[in-house]
């Protein structure tokens, strides 16, 4: 009986794993700039499992940022996982052991969370584990491959591949903006202010990680104050 959710998890996790491999490959190309070796990239990606967070971390390492900046960057770029963890806590059967609850929380990525909460009723831990296992394997190997092969590819191809990461970001943020006008508004404001901040005299001198952290907190707080969310049970992003 326990094998059914696991097999289903592997099946649902496979297309995610394919996408992860491609995106992680371009992440690996960026990780090279931060001085990561393939084994280090594999370990880093296997245990962090966060596209935007890893991207931000590698960019900061490459720029020689401080530990505080890296911690702040990880906190802000991954803050959505807090919301997902909170939402997933509602999908675990009462009486499930503390170990399972913690392990399921550790499995969270945008996509693994997405399919886990889509499970009808309480999500079996095995389903989440199986999907996380296969997708993490491809994510980590993709990153390691990007680190190894990235330097062999011609410059035009490396540039093109590094654009895939931004494409993935767009695929995450644009569809919800179609459904929610407030999200659309927040995105437009973010793009305008981010462009202005990068060109501005003093703020433009800050590291891009610092600008990301400050802009995210300011814009999200303003949006939360001006346009608070309505439904109690509509927490999941």
Partner 1 sequence: MEQHSIIICIALAIVVTNLIRLIPMACIKGPIRHRFVRSFLYYVPYVTLAVMTFPDMILTPPSLTTGIAALTAGIAAAWMRLGLLPVAAICSLITYFLNSSGI
Question: Binders of partner 1 among 145-204, rule CB under 8 A?
Answer: 156-157, 159-178, 182-183, 186-187, 190-191, 193-195, 198
Query: According to CB under 8 A, which residues from 215 to 234 bind partner 1?
Result: 215-216, 219-221, 223-225, 227-229, 232-233
Q: Give the position of tokens 């346009």.
A: 227
Indicate the residue among 151 and 159 with the shorter CB distance to partner 1.
159
**Does residue 90 bind partner 1 (CB under 8 A)?**
yes
- Reading the block at residue 208, the tokens are 């891009």
Q: Are 117 and 88 in contact (CB under 8 A)?
A: yes
Q: Are 152 and 141 in contact (CB under 8 A)?
A: no
The single-letter DSSP state of residue 95 is: T
24, 27, 34, 132: residue in contact with partner 1 (rule CB under 8 A): 34
The single-letter DSSP state of residue 121 is: S
76, 131, 140, 147: residue in contact with partner 1 (rule CB under 8 A): 76
In angstroms, give the least distance from the CB of 60 to partner 1: 8
In angstroms, give the least distance from the CB of 3 to partner 1: 25
Indicate the residue among 61 and 137 with the shorter CB distance to partner 1.
61
**Binding region for partner 1 (CB under 8 A) out of 2-10, 101-109, 122-130, 142-150:** 101-109
**Binding region for partner 1 (CB under 8 A) out of 51-59, 115-123, 124-132, 145-153:** 51-59
**Does residue 122 bind partner 1 (CB under 8 A)?**
no
- Reading the block at residue 24, the tokens are 């992680």
DSSP string, 71-86: HHHHHHHTTHHHHHHH
* Residue count, binding to partner 1 (CB under 8 A): 101
User: Angle, to 10 degrees, between the axis of helix 38-48 and the axis of helix 51-62?
Assistant: 140
Q: Are 150 and 29 in contact (CB under 8 A)?
A: yes
153, 203, 210, 237: residue in contact with partner 1 (rule CB under 8 A): 237
- Reading the block at residue 97, the tokens are 């052991």
């Amino acid at each position: 009986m326990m094998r059914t959710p696991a097999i289903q998890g592997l099946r649902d996790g496979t297309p995610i794993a394919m996408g992860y491999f491609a995106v992680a490959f371009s992440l690996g190309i960026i990780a090279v700039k931060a001085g990561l070796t393939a084994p280090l990239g594999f370990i880093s990606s296997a245990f962090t499992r966060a596209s935007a967070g890893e991207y931000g971390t590698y960019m900061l390492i490459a720029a020689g940022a401080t530990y505080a900046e890296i911690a702040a960057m990880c906190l802000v770029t991954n803050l959505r996982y807090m919301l997902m963890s909170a939402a997933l806590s509602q999908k675990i059967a009462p009486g499930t052991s503390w170990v399972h609850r913690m392990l399921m929380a550790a499995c969270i990525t945008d996509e693994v969370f997405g399919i886990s909460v889509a499970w009808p009723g309480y999500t079996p831990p095995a389903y989440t584990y199986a999907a996380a296992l296969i997708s993490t394997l491809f994510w980590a190997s993709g990153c390691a491959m990007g680190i190894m092969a990235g330097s062999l590819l011609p410059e035009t191809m490396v540039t093109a591949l590094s654009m895939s990461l931004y494409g993935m970001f767009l695929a995450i943020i644009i569809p919800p903006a179609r459904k929610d006008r407030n999200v659309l508004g927040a995105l437009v404001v973010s793009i305008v202010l981010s462009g202005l901040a990068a060109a501005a005299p003093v703020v433009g001198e800050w590291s891009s990680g610092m600008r990301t952290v400050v802009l995210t907190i300011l814009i999200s707080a303003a949006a939360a104050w001006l346009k608070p969310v309505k439904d109690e049970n509509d927490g999941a992003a």
